Structure 1
Amino acid sequence: MSTRFKPPGQCPVCGEWVPRGAAACDDCGACAKSGWSGDTHEDGLDLPEDEPFDYDAYVAREFGGENGHKLKIPHVNNTWRWIALILLIIIVLGELLSTFA
């Protein structure tokens, strides 16, 4: 990367056009302060360091259990199923009777 880059011109990091008088590249954020380097433009963001990510440990920690989270569907009482079926039959019969009346 070139530290001598001065706009206007193509950004030496990402290749986007940097207009005259610009303090930094609008696309990647590289600037004269970072030496027009893509390596340092994220330094002030306080991002976590790259570390290996253990997906299985994450799932166990977030959802519990050895094998991760198993979807738990609340038990639907059979009474409510019968009530829903009876209401559906009443609605259908009501519609049929209203069409013949």
Structure 2
Amino acid sequence: MFRPPGQCPACGEWVPRGAVACDDCGACDRSGWKSERAVYDGLDLPDEDFDYNEFVEREFGQEKTGPRVSREIFWRWVAAIVLAVMILGYIMSAF
């Protein structure tokens, strides 16, 4: 039975002391240090039929610009009022 440190019996990469699996191929004690018996489940990778555009549309939908426009107008008005108050304050302090 293989015990680190040493070369991985599955892929030949160096496995450091205390490692529970090979960093390169994922072989470990449970898989018997054989890469063909290693199980790679739970990766949640999309299959060949995955449609990225359909996924984005389903998850995020159409962008709603209504509230964003009203917020933008609101902050423009706030900036204009603050600027007007600053100009009036400067003019009043000059006299």
Q: TM-score under structure 1 normalisation? A: 0.52
1:94 matched to 2:72? The reply is no
1:51 to 47, 51, 74: 47
CA distance in 2: counterparts of 1:79 and 1:92, whole angstroms: 20
- Alignment root-mean-square deviation, CA: 3.8
1:33 matched to 2:26? The reply is no
CA distance in 2: counterparts of 1:79 and 1:7, whole angstroms: 64
1:8 matched to 2:5? The reply is yes
Q: 1:70 corresponds to which residue?
A: 63
The C-alpha deviation readout for 1:23-70, integer Å capped at 9, x for no partner, is 723635421321323452534xx4446513211111221133xxxx33
User: Helix, strand or coil: the match of 1:89?
Assistant: helix
Q: TM-score under structure 2 normalisation? A: 0.54
Asked if 2 retains the 8 angstrom alpha-carbon contact of 1:16 and 1:25, the reply is no
CA distance in 1: counterparts of 2:19 and 2:71, whole angstroms: 63
Aligned-residue offset at 1:9: 0.5
Higher-RCO chain (CA-CA 8 Å, sequence separation at least 6): 1
